[in-house]
Structure 1
Amino acid sequence: MRPIDHIINRIEVTVFRHRVFVISLFLLMSLFLGYQATQIKLDASFTKNIPLNHEYMQTYLKHRANFGGANNVLISVCNQDDDIFNKEFFTALKGVHDQLFFIPGVERTQVNSLFSPSTRFIEVVEDGFAGGPVVPADFVADEEGLAIVKANIEKAGIVGRIVADNYSCAMVKAVLMENNPDTGEKLDVIALASKLENDIRKPYEKDGITVHIIGFSKMVGDIADGAKGVVTFFLIAIAITTVMVYLFSKSIALTLLPIACSLIAVVWQLGLLSTLGFGLDPMSILVPFLVFAIGVSHGVQMINTIGKKVSLGMKSKKAAKFAFRTLIVPGGIALLSDTVGFITLLSIDIGIIRELAIAASLGVGVIILTNLLLLPVLVSFINIPVKKVKPKSKSQMGFQQAQQEHLLWRFMQSFSDRKVASVVLVIAAILFGLGFHYSKQLKIGELHAGAPSLHEHSRYNQDTFLITDRYAISVDYMSVIVETNANACTNPEVLKTMDGFQWRMENIEGVQSTVSLPSVMKIINAGYYEGNLKWRIISPNQYALAQALSNVPSSTGLLNNDCSVMPVILFLQDHKAETINRVVDAAKIAIDDYNNDLVTFKLASGPVGVMAATNEAVEEAQTPMMLYVYGAVIILCWLSFKSIKAVVSVVVPLYIVSTLAQWLMTVLDIGLTVSTLPVIALGVGIGVDYGIYILSTMSQRLTAGDNIQQAYLAALKERGTAVLITGVTLAIGVSTWFFSDLKFQVDMGILLTFMFLVNMLAAVTILPAIAAFLWKNQK
């Protein structure tokens, strides 16, 4: 007896001899982890979505205190019927400004609007310069006061930035902290999003005044609201799965038990996450469904084996022991492949993907206990009402049903015949070639305007489109940080270098506009000469530069306190992957040309800087992640079957399907992002189950002396129905996601439906076709 068989026998004897103790232990653990699961909370933070160790993010974090982070809130208050110059509008704008100012977690020194003291105007008068706040301290919203404010707005040059181009809206901007100053804990962005909706939008959006809010926190809040619908889809999936399993098993007990064990796995997963101090991010809220789906997949294999043995006259307990002994190795190897595959996601330096990896790994690891151990123990207690039938007898199961099953298996058996297998492999090779060619066109990053996690018609994206349309600046901006010596703001060489870099970037396709300290100082310098454009220059005279600099406080975000760091801000037309790549590539070339001993340009800060870093991290992680996933699957398949032939038969179909999935992403215009990158690994992890179960039976029959066709027919009779039912059931379950309020869930639903179905089809067509050529067709 092999050592592994001896270990399995010992476990089987121990478990089934102490069945009551095992069930009691599971019950206690379920009660404890069930309580822990009720304590889990939705948890989202800005830093989890970015690769903190990326060089761009190191620059971003280093200078975030001086120039603000990328975690901003933009609130545009608009008048639907007229311009902003009326009492009602300014009352609403003042209310929004004050309300935002006092929300915990908002950096109050960086709340900026018409009512901010730092929003100032400067004008040339007979005696030199004059200026002050755009909205005076004694402002009264009457005809005279509004006229003064309108004149000040035009003098301040903030049209297109703080005020809309057509004077229909005005902006309130704020930067968010990482921690809540009241509690000292990490800022709850979902709660903050709720405050923005309830304390700002609802009270002030009335009488023709509309409020439009965008920013990371608001987007996450809207995603969290949409994610609540996942519960509905989860319930629908449970119902569909229950019906499909019943149609397969024809037994209420054998239907409810695998469903119950799979739900226990979900409860344990959530409980373990809560116990370990993790929350559930809205972007990974779909993981519990995947755990349920994987659990059902293995549960169906278990009840399939038990049901077949009971139908041959075996008692429930004995059938359950046989199923446990038979499936613990292939099922355990499949689940370990899933777990290790998910763990490989930890290699990606993005917090949200690492949390997803932990959540998925815990859930799949738990399934080994709930569906491979608890399920057969529970089944051993029930009396399955199935009539005895002789092997291969057709009389009691109905001739027509037996004949249909016989014809289906005979047809599918033909895939292991070398002539048919040749055709299958040629078709697979053609599809793989096309998929490989078009998968090279897969783009990294977001491919659509607005927040890609939400539908285009969502309120958040409609707010984004309005702000982009009515203001000259884009909400998609990137800051190139310039590091130099202290007091460099009056060094003409430094300013000219920055000005040259800014001019070069301003002429890159996709850059809408730019701003920096030198560009502002040039305008101020011209002001000293009656606005003459000839004087819009960087003066070689340090005193003239100091004079211009005196009108630019550090609160503008164009310089730090000692003038040693200054950003060049690039406003982009959008945040599509191709736009970001074009601008970043041009910036890298320009940086190489302009860096010198005095000035160092560094990428990057701002929302687009974060996106650029994330895109680069995803691109760098793509190939290593797939190597780790397939490496884990290959090693575990080798340990299971001790055969290179078996490894090739299982892994090649998986790789073909992964390539076709990437082709599908290019066809559907789905980019490779933080939310879609894990789907490929998840698909491989789940898809390997089909091949391992089929090949485990084939391997046994081949060892017993069957040829490849006989072995495959035996595998179909033993596992075929369960594999087909599982693939179809899981695909139907995730296909309900097509109707989700969340765009990223729709995308994941499409990809997972494809991978569930096509991995199943590949396991029953390509796997036997490959095996037909790897194993000789003889005993």
Structure 2
Amino acid sequence: MTSLSTPHQDKATFLERLIFNNRPAVIVICLLVSVFLFWQATLIRPSTSFEKMIPLEHPFIEKMMEHRNDLANLGNTVRISVEATDGDIFSKEYMETLRQINDEVFYISGVDRSGLKSLWSPSVRWTEVTEEGFAGGEVIPQSYNGSQQSLDLLRNNVLKSGQVGRLVANDFKSSIVDIPLLESYPDPQDQGKLLALDYRKFSHELEDKIRNKFEAQNPNVKIHIVGFAKKVGDLIDGLVMVVMFFGVAFVITLILLYWFTNCMRSTVAVLSTTLVAVVWQLGLMHFFGFGLDPYSMLVPFLIFAIGISHGVQKINGIALQSSEAENALTAARRTFRQLFLPGMIAILADAVGFITLLIIDIGVIRELAIGASIGVAVIVFTNLILLPVAISYVGISKRAVERSKKDAHREHPFWRLLSNFASPKVAPISIALALIAFGGGLWYSQNLKIGDLDQGAPELRPDSRYNKDNSFIINNYSTSSDVLVVMVKTKSEGCSRYEAMAPIDELMWKMQNTEGVQSAISLVTVSKQMIKGMNEGNLKWETLSRNPDVLNNSIARADGLYNNNCSLAPVLVFLNDHKAETLDRAVHAVQDFAKENNKEGLEFILAAGNAGIEAATNEVIKRSELTILILVYICVATMCMITFRSWAATLCIVLPLVLTSVLGNALMAFMGIGVKVATLPVVALGVGIGVDYGIYIYSRLESFLRAGLPLQEAYYQTLKSTGKAVLFTGLCLAIGVCTWIFSAIKFQADMGLMLTFMLLWNMFGALWLLPALARFLIKPEKLAGQKGNSLFAH
């Protein structure tokens, strides 16, 4: 084994000697770990759950979970609208198709069969007032046989059922099958075992057993499906295309790496060790019991990008050292010694950025944070340790070494031009431009909204099938799929008392007159109709009675609108959409009403329903956004301070990142992208990854300043040695994530756009603004000739 000379061995750290004096053991250990984790990675599957997507510790969600057993069919539901494309629903063929769909859905795993509702459900009934009193029955009676007489009777029953606009479209051209879901259900093979709802499988069953099957059977029928489970299933299907984007990013990176290194051996080494990092990350995720949800599926991309970033720095350093070292091992050891610490600090900064996301009380974001933190941790082993060891064996081609040697000794007009950013004349202009950009970005980012800004599922493209289905249901039914549920809590058997029902009536009136609200229903709605019916249908009697017996009788048919002991009565508020402004108005209206009307024995509690969950999520995002940003910058600044032991150095590295964050918020406002579950992590990811550039540039700049060079010349030498790697890394990272922009999944496209912008701006900020700040903050004369106290000083 070739080794360093004695003087160099003396300079070597314990870690360096441990690694390079035992290279075969390092290779074997990494190989064994890779085999085990590759096997683990093959077992990982796309998975998510309803509860992982919501902020479980938010008061709204805590109340919803507390009363979930009392809120029949108001949680995780799917709605299937069966449209008659020729004629209306009152035909023998349509009703038979609807019956078959109802029966087929009944046997799909994960369906709460007791709550399944359609025109064929016995619980869907009609009521009318006759001379003898009330009459009623099932909407589709036992005597139904598909004859014209039966269909005419069905039409009359539907009109008397109160389901027009709810289960039946306003134009009578479609009807809905309402499907409540179970988060876990008994295994058909083993009743003692519970299976978690598989959203992707469930979504595929809806497609195969319902949409494809029945549209093929009956060309006059069209199926529309909406609901959380269907949306998540479509997201997972769309994200399977991530593999294709990963392949595209891999090929682009291969081409750019070869152009950068001019050496196939080092290109393959960087790509191989980075792929090992991705495999380790996926394997460890499965080993620790995590799956891949729609958000954490993006983490392997980030790990690949970060791994390439550090790999490029290593290869660039080894190529520079190879021109003076007698062999590949010596070059690898010297590069390891020079770059391990800045690389380690940069990776810790990445990890800190990810770990701050753990404060957000949403399972998918926390899993993204854990997955990304695991990923950057393995990069320490694969790209900071395994890569130099691998290069110490395979070496770098003579052509690459010769080119590196020429580059080190020749004049570079481009780098000389960029070094003017550190000149006394250009630096003030740069600072002024940065201040103008900062002020403009801060001003425009006031337009940034929290939450969704579009109807339907903003995670999907507007022209996606899901959003077209959602638009159909919104346009044809009076009750939208966006429901805010207010839980009215009373004493036992108290929900039917006038003292409770009168305030509920007032709340419904207030909500129906709130902008963005379509309608509201509760047990009061049924009570008024029944009281009117008990008084010969006279509209004058469509009001609440003060007689307790009358009220008790009037809510007898208000199924699902109060719990078993009449201590909880939900008010269902149907909204036009779930845009942030709509949710804010509705929530504030309820909160204002609750302040005035809450008292002992009567409490108006928010919130359930999908709109309630969205409102809670928006509040968590709004509360966490600034906290995360501050935490990320405190942690990154602390890391820089510990590393360089200089406030000036810390400001030089952190201030360009601050400018990028402000401009990123302005871009989101300009593009109409709200701050939500999908985009909030970008803040931490962008800062965490972007700090790498500043750390690598400043560590080299400081070493040249200590050598006695004036600032502009020191920056020119910095650019010659590491500028190319930084520029290449920024472009490579940006190209890798910009492929996401073409994804069918809109939130992935939004993340791709934002990360591309932030990565490029962070790179540009490090190259442009860092030296300008150094001109004002760093005193080169104080550093010249000093050994220094930074962690990078030797």
Same topology, TM > 0.5:
yes
Residues 532-583 of structure 1 show CA distances to partners (whole Å, capped at 9, x for unaligned) of 121111101112112212233xxx3211111110011100011111111111
- Structure 1 residues 210 and 392, CA, compared in 2 at 3 Å: closer, same or farther? closer
Counterpart for residue 69 of structure 2: 65
Alignment of 1:602-751 (within 5 A): 602-751=605-754
Alignment of 1:327-366 (within 5 A): 327-366=339-378
Counterpart for residue 203 of structure 2: 193
Alignment of 1:46-125 (within 5 A): 46-67=50-71, 68-125=73-130
Which amino acid in the other structure matches residue 198 of structure 2?
D
Alignment of 1:349-748 (within 5 A): 349-386=361-398, 402-403=410-411, 406-552=412-558, 556-748=559-751
Q: Per-residue deviation at 1:6?
A: 8.8
Maintained 8 Å contact 1:653/1:762: yes
Gaps of 5+ in 1: none
- Structure 1 residues 667 and 398, CA, compared in 2 at 3 Å: closer, same or farther? same
Q: Per-residue deviation at 1:503?
A: 0.8
Residues in 1 aligned to 2:220 and 2:709: alpha-carbon distance in whole angstroms:
80
| Secondary structure at the counterpart of residue 726 of structure 1 | helix
| Secondary structure at the counterpart of residue 80 of structure 2 | strand
Counterpart for residue 157 of structure 2: 152
**Of residues 24, 37, 47 in structure 2, which corresponds to 1:43?**
47
| Secondary structure at the counterpart of residue 393 of structure 2 | coil
Q: Per-residue deviation at 1:398?
A: 12
Residues in 2 aligned to 1:774 and 1:614: alpha-carbon distance in whole angstroms:
42
Alignment of 1:115-194 (within 5 A): 115-182=120-187, 183-194=193-204
Alignment of 1:26-41 (within 5 A): 26-41=30-45
Q: Per-residue deviation at 1:138?
A: 2.7
Residues in 2 aligned to 1:174 and 1:768: alpha-carbon distance in whole angstroms:
61
TM-score, scaled to structure 2: 0.94
Residues in 1 aligned to 2:384 and 2:673: alpha-carbon distance in whole angstroms:
36
Which amino acid in the other structure matches residue 305 of structure 1?
G
RMSD of Structure 2 on Structure 1 (CA): 1.7
Maintained 8 Å contact 1:683/1:752: yes
Which amino acid in the other structure matches residue 58 of structure 1?
E
1:253 to 2:265 alignment: yes
| Secondary structure at the counterpart of residue 183 of structure 2 | coil
Maintained 8 Å contact 2:256/2:732: yes
Residues 483-521 of structure 1 show CA distances to partners (whole Å, capped at 9, x for unaligned) of 001112431111111111111111100011010111220
**Of residues 337, 340, 349 in structure 2, which corresponds to 1:325?**
337
| Secondary structure at the counterpart of residue 418 of structure 1 | coil
- Structure 1 residues 42 and 391, CA, compared in 2 at 3 Å: closer, same or farther? closer
Which amino acid in the other structure matches residue 533 of structure 2?
G
Counterpart for residue 244 of structure 2: 232
- Structure 1 residues 351 and 383, CA, compared in 2 at 3 Å: closer, same or farther? closer
Residues 663-721 of structure 1 show CA distances to partners (whole Å, capped at 9, x for unaligned) of 10000000001011001110111100000000011121222322322221221111000
Residues in 2 aligned to 1:141 and 1:620: alpha-carbon distance in whole angstroms:
57
Q: Per-residue deviation at 1:202?
A: 1.5
Residues in 2 aligned to 1:537 and 1:69: alpha-carbon distance in whole angstroms:
26
Q: Per-residue deviation at 1:171?
A: 0.4
Q: Quick one: percent identity of the two aligned structures?
A: 45
- Structure 1 residues 170 and 369, CA, compared in 2 at 3 Å: closer, same or farther? same
Q: Per-residue deviation at 1:312?
A: 3.8
Q: Give the count of matched residue pairs.
A: 766
- Structure 1 residues 457 and 427, CA, compared in 2 at 3 Å: closer, same or farther? same
Residues 461-501 of structure 1 show CA distances to partners (whole Å, capped at 9, x for unaligned) of 11000011111111111110000011124311111111111
| Secondary structure at the counterpart of residue 523 of structure 1 | helix
Structure 1 window deviating more from structure 2 (702-711 vs 195-204): it is: 702-711
| Secondary structure at the counterpart of residue 212 of structure 1 | strand
Residues 626-670 of structure 1 show CA distances to partners (whole Å, capped at 9, x for unaligned) of 122111111111111111111101111011101111110000000
Maintained 8 Å contact 1:60/1:69: no
| Secondary structure at the counterpart of residue 285 of structure 1 | helix
Which amino acid in the other structure matches residue 39 of structure 2?
Y
Q: Per-residue deviation at 1:313?
A: 5.1
- Structure 1 residues 398 and 634, CA, compared in 2 at 3 Å: closer, same or farther? closer
- Structure 1 residues 295 and 438, CA, compared in 2 at 3 Å: closer, same or farther? same
Which amino acid in the other structure matches residue 666 of structure 2?
W
**Of residues 199, 203, 211 in structure 1, which corresponds to 2:213?**
203
- Structure 1 residues 58 and 387, CA, compared in 2 at 3 Å: closer, same or farther? closer
Which amino acid in the other structure matches residue 117 of structure 2?
N
- Structure 1 residues 46 and 724, CA, compared in 2 at 3 Å: closer, same or farther? same
Maintained 8 Å contact 1:77/1:93: yes
Residues 50-74 of structure 1 show CA distances to partners (whole Å, capped at 9, x for unaligned) of 0001110011112222223431110
Maintained 8 Å contact 1:104/1:181: no
- Structure 1 residues 479 and 655, CA, compared in 2 at 3 Å: closer, same or farther? same
Which amino acid in the other structure matches residue 377 of structure 1?
V
Which amino acid in the other structure matches residue 301 of structure 1?
Q
Residues in 2 aligned to 1:624 and 1:641: alpha-carbon distance in whole angstroms:
25
| Secondary structure at the counterpart of residue 186 of structure 2 | coil
Q: Per-residue deviation at 1:388?
A: 9.6
Maintained 8 Å contact 1:48/1:352: yes
| Secondary structure at the counterpart of residue 166 of structure 1 | coil
Gaps of 5+ in 2: 1-8, 188-192, 785-794
Counterpart for residue 5 of structure 2: none
Which amino acid in the other structure matches residue 548 of structure 2?
Q
- Structure 1 residues 6 and 685, CA, compared in 2 at 3 Å: closer, same or farther? farther
Q: Per-residue deviation at 1:436?
A: 1.1
Maintained 8 Å contact 2:488/2:569: yes
Structure 1 window deviating more from structure 2 (288-297 vs 135-144): it is: 135-144
TM-score, scaled to structure 1: 0.96
Counterpart for residue 24 of structure 1: 28
Maintained 8 Å contact 1:330/1:696: yes
Maintained 8 Å contact 1:670/1:747: yes
Maintained 8 Å contact 1:44/1:190: no
